[in-house]
Homo-oligomer: A and B are copies of this chain.
Amino acid sequence: MTSHSTARPAQRTAATGRGTRVRGTRQAEALSHVLADLPGFSSAQDIHAELRRRGERVGLTTVYRHLQVLSEDGAVDTLRDETGETLYRRCETSAHHHHVTCRSCGRSVEVEGRAVERWAERVATEAGFTDVDHTVEIFGLCPDCARERS
């Protein structure tokens, strides 16, 4: 994916004053650009490192704070890697979906499937559970990493 997603619904900040968060500040803008460029899931610390590489001066605390808000707003997806570290990636759709993620480089593809949604709902109901929710993550080697490994 190329950068510059432009056509973003835009957060009325400078426009209407009392704006929603994110955007508006130099730090939020810089973070937004990095997120638009990173192709896969990255840790907060990796994102912070990328900001510094670009010459942006943003505190790690600020990175964490923005990622948390973006995550709550559904603008970024999160997942935990095997070490327990939280990884972030810009979200491309507002619909419920899951990810196929490369365990080597973090690149990921958003996928959806009624099959797994139905299955989750069914087995939970059969077990007598209500208010059902689920987490599904698929990991593998992306084409590039698989090629590089052979």
Contacts and interface: CB of A to CB of B under 8 A. Distances in A.
Contacts of A103: 133
Interface residues of A, number: 34
Copies in the complex: 2
Contacts of A136: 116, 120, 134-137
A109 B124 CA distance: 9
Interface string A67-106: 0000000000000100010100000000000001011000
Q: Which of A84, A100, A129 has the most CB of B within 10 A?
A: A129
Nearest to A136: B136
Given A113-B123, A132-B139, 4 more contacts: A115-B119, A116-B116, A130-B140, A133-B138
